[in-house]
Amino acid sequence: IAQVVDNANVTSQSTRVNLDTRQTDLPTAFRFSLGSDLLGTANSLFGTRGGGDHRLFAEVAMNDAVDLATQVGFGAEYSFRNLAFLRAGKKFYNDERAADASFKGAYGLSGGAGVRFPLAGRALRFDYSYTSLGDLRDIQVFSFEFGR
Of the candidates 74, 70, 42, 49, the residue with the CA atom closest to the CA atom of residue 61: 74
Q: What is the pLDDT of residue 98?
A: 60
Cα separation, 56 vs 129, in Å, equals: 18
Q: What does the pLDDT read at residue 7?
A: 41
Q: What mean pLDDT comes out for the span 23-27?
A: 72
How confident is the model over 38-70, as pLDDT tens digits? 988 888 888 777 667 889 999 999 998 877 788
Q: In 1-148, where do the E strands start and end?
A: 3-6, 9-12, 15-18, 29-39, 54-65, 68-80, 84-92, 109-119, 122-132, 138-147
